Chain A
Amino acid sequence: MSDRLTRDDVAKVAELARLVLTDAELDTYTDQLGAVLDHAADVAALDLADVPPTAHPLPLVNVLRDDVVAPCLDRDEVLAQAPAVEDGRFRVPAILGEEP
């Protein structure tokens, strides 16, 4: 079990989530998130070694569909909603990093 959430933790998490926080916000969120996690400490303290996780409430398995083509969206309708378009493609600013 880890210690209480730190300001650094929140800063790292904000970066992972592509959010920019001011210093004041960083402090506020650290407090508030810390409080929620403290409350969740009751869960973290339980010994559930023998309990399997339930990722999903439904007992469904093997939901499959046939490999048959269906109509696509109209490209114009799709691109009409885009913030920036060029040559039938979505335009974005310079990408610095590579695909992980």
Chain B
Amino acid sequence: MADLPTTAVDIAAAVRAGEVSAAEVLDAHLAAIDAREGEINAFNLVLADEARAAAAAVDARVAAGEDPGPLAGVPLALKDNLCTRGVPTTCSSRILEGWRPPYDATVVQRVAAAGAVAVGKTNLDEFAMGSSTENSAFGPTRNPRDPERVPGGSSGGSAAAVAAGFAPISLGSDTGGSIRQPAALCGVVGVKPTYGLVSRYGLVAFASSLDQIGPFSTTVADAALLLEAVAGHDPLDSTSIDAPAPSLLDQLDRGVQGLRIGLVTELMGEGIAPDVAARVRQAADALAAAGAEIGEVSVPAASYGLSAYYLIAPAEASSNLARYDGVRYGLRVDAPTTAEMNAATRTAGFGVEVKRRIMLGTYALSAGYYDAYYGKALKVRTLIVRDFEAAYERFDLLLSPTSPTTAFRFGEKVDDPLAMYLNDVCTIPTNLAGHPAMSVPFGAGADGMPVGVQLLAPALGEATMFRAAAAVEAAAPSLEEAWS
């Protein structure tokens, strides 16, 4: 195991060169899963047999002199809201327990075509609604750094799988921060791409105008490698940008000389834990030392982001989740009439947070309230877009914390929805604007738990964003470095 490469970039290179087999790489990771999965519960389903077959296929291609792909032999975990043909896709909900999609999500097809080896479907907050993975119907996932604490959410399983060494890379989804926040809490890299850069076909929808699929990894380079493999136009997704995948790996060592980077005022003050803010300033100093120009910028509409998000996202979700009615797939609780059957099924099948958001969303859209709530929220969205546009006239990138705090303890916030929603205050504005953002680990907080700093870029600004991320990564203190 000590001899085997551990990053995706290194594994793929070694497998492609025939230096190491996909099978042995997989075995090492399955062993890691065996060792700690019982404690962490990152997976809803481990796909050992399927993975072995996939690894064997990669090895056969290498042996035959064929190109096995840029992710050859790299173990990869998939959030359990990504459709995998013939393999249960539950969204961590009782209502989809056991459902086997008859098709693969586009990103699933692309990573398979790239030679990646899917090792399992990871746990999430039910239907991606949550910031701690405590809302899963199949039990929470634990933070590998401290199992008494949450891994964040909703992609807690995908973040934990990478942090625990179960797979070097994983895919999650981000609607209000669900990749970036768990990445920060678990001490890994997490990226939300520009809206429309990665196909949503096969991603079980939560909020359609906000959802994006993105990578988790331990290094910025690995995130670039994975994002390159899944990004690019998909004719099956009408909201997919008509452009090929961007080239990111070759951007990483360009450095940050002359880049103008702005600290977001509204996200550095009240509501942000002091140790987190301090780490962000430390990252800013590091970027300055590497040649970037650091400034401060106000994005006033960002402070309305939380309210707008908690009207728009539940509204879309209330509609997206209507299809779970017990008729065609998933759970059915029988009743004498169809309407009663629908209600009994949904009542039994959905968890508390999902119900809460469905009702909130239904209310926000209903007759008499549309203008005051949903209608208004769409206008706030315009203000946010405008504020970001103004900010990006003066700066190339923005910088902020990813999460207001480090990982909290189980049970601390789950009964207070508003407290839980406040976890997303730094990440939500970028979803509303459709912009890319990523979290890069930057040392530990006062409690020894990981802190992530967030880089924000304008639409399709991934190349610049990754450049700066590489510089932040290079300067990042290790987790073990004590807080001072």
**Chains A and B share a contact (CB less than 8 Å):** yes
Name A40's closest neighbour in chain B (CB-CB).
B307
Chain A stretch 16-68: residues in CB contact (< 8 A) with chain B: 16-21, 29, 32-33, 35-37, 39-40, 42-44, 46, 48, 51-58, 60, 63, 65
B109 contacts A by Cβ under 8 Å: no
Of A33, A35, A40, A55, the most chain B CB neighbours within 10 A belong to: A40
Q: Mark B431-472, 1 if CB is under 8 A from A, else 0.
A: 011100000000000000000000000010000000000000
Q: Mark A58-100, 1 if CB is under 8 A from B, else 0.
A: 1010010100000001100110011110000010111111000
Contacts of A77 on B, CB cut-off 8 Å? 102
Pair A43/B341 contact, Cβ less than 8 Å: no
Q: Which of A29, A42, A44 lies in contact with B356, CB distance below 8 A?
A: A29
Q: Which of A5, A46, A56, A73 lies in contact with B304, CB distance below 8 A?
A: A46
Contacts of B103 on A, CB cut-off 8 Å? 73
Q: Which of B306, B328, B376, B383 lies in contact with A44, CB distance below 8 A?
A: B376
Contacts of B432 on A, CB cut-off 8 Å? 57
Contacts of B355 on A, CB cut-off 8 Å? 19, 29
Pair B360/A36 contact, Cβ less than 8 Å: yes
A20 to B344, CA, bound (A): 7
Pair B363/A39 contact, Cβ less than 8 Å: no
A17 to B385, CA, bound (A): 31
Contacts of A13 on B, CB cut-off 8 Å? 359, 362-363, 366
Pair B379/A51 contact, Cβ less than 8 Å: yes
B346 contacts A by Cβ under 8 Å: yes
A40 to B314, CA, bound (A): 13
Pair B417/A36 contact, Cβ less than 8 Å: yes
A58 to B255, CA, bound (A): 30
Pair B380/A46 contact, Cβ less than 8 Å: yes
A interface, size bucket: 35 or more
Question: Do A48 and B376 form a contact, CB below 8 Å, given A18-B339, A19-B355, A81-B102?
Answer: yes
Pair A44/B373 contact, Cβ less than 8 Å: yes
Main secondary structure of the interface of B (DSSP, over half): helix
Contacts of B344 on A, CB cut-off 8 Å? 20
A28 to B328, CA, bound (A): 32
Main secondary structure of the interface of A (DSSP, over half): loop
Pair A29/B359 contact, Cβ less than 8 Å: yes
A94 to B311, CA, bound (A): 35
B126 contacts A by Cβ under 8 Å: no
Q: Which of A19, A37, A54, A78 lies in contact with B385, CB distance below 8 A?
A: A54
Chain B stretch 307-354: residues in CB contact (< 8 A) with chain A: 307-308, 310-311, 318, 322, 325-332, 334-344, 346-347, 350
B interface, size bucket: 35 or more
The minimal Cβ–Cβ distance linking B233 to chain A, given in whole angstroms, is 10
Pair A17/B102 contact, Cβ less than 8 Å: no
A96 to B342, CA, bound (A): 13
Contacts of A54 on B, CB cut-off 8 Å? 378-379, 381-382, 385
The minimal Cβ–Cβ distance linking A70 to chain B, given in whole angstroms, is 10
Contacts of B209 on A, CB cut-off 8 Å? 55-57
Chain B stretch 185-215: residues in CB contact (< 8 A) with chain A: 195-196, 209
A37 to B311, CA, bound (A): 9
A90 to B326, CA, bound (A): 11
Pair B329/A81 contact, Cβ less than 8 Å: yes
Pair A2/B337 contact, Cβ less than 8 Å: no
Question: Do A90 and B327 form a contact, CB below 8 Å, given A46-B380, A57-B433, A96-B339?
Answer: yes
The minimal Cβ–Cβ distance linking A2 to chain B, given in whole angstroms, is 6
Q: Mark B370-394, 1 if CB is under 8 A from A, else 0.
A: 0011011111111101000000000
Pair B347/A20 contact, Cβ less than 8 Å: yes
A87 to B329, CA, bound (A): 17
Q: Among B142-150, B234-242, B272-280, which stretch is in contact with chain A?
A: B234-242
Question: Do A58 and B195 form a contact, CB below 8 Å, given A13-B366, A40-B311, A43-B380?
Answer: yes
Q: Which of A19, A58, A92 lies in contact with B347, CB distance below 8 A?
A: A19
Pair A19/B343 contact, Cβ less than 8 Å: yes
B483 contacts A by Cβ under 8 Å: no
The minimal Cβ–Cβ distance linking B106 to chain A, given in whole angstroms, is 15
Contacts of A21 on B, CB cut-off 8 Å? 347
A39 to B306, CA, bound (A): 9
A94 to B334, CA, bound (A): 11
Q: Which of A42, A65, A92 lies in contact with B338, CB distance below 8 A?
A: A92
A94 to B260, CA, bound (A): 64
B408 contacts A by Cβ under 8 Å: no
Q: Which of B310, B318, B331 lies in contact with A36, CB distance below 8 A?
A: B310
Pair A48/B380 contact, Cβ less than 8 Å: yes
B418 contacts A by Cβ under 8 Å: yes
Name B238's closest neighbour in chain A (CB-CB).
A63
Chain B stretch 380-416: residues in CB contact (< 8 A) with chain A: 380-383, 385
Contacts of A46 on B, CB cut-off 8 Å? 304, 376, 379-380
List of 7 A-B pairs having minimum Cβ-Cβ separation, nearest first: A57-B434, A53-B378, A83-B332, A48-B379, A40-B307, A54-B381, A43-B307
A-B contact pairs, 9 of them (CB 8 A): A13-B362, A17-B362, A35-B418, A37-B363, A46-B380, A73-B103, A81-B329, A94-B336, A95-B339
> Given known contacts A57-B385, A81-B102, A82-B329, what 20 new A-B pairs fall within 8 Å (CB)?
A13-B362, A18-B325, A18-B343, A20-B343, A21-B347, A35-B417, A37-B360, A43-B311, A43-B376, A43-B377, A46-B379, A48-B380, A56-B209, A57-B432, A58-B241, A63-B238, A65-B235, A83-B329, A83-B332, A94-B337
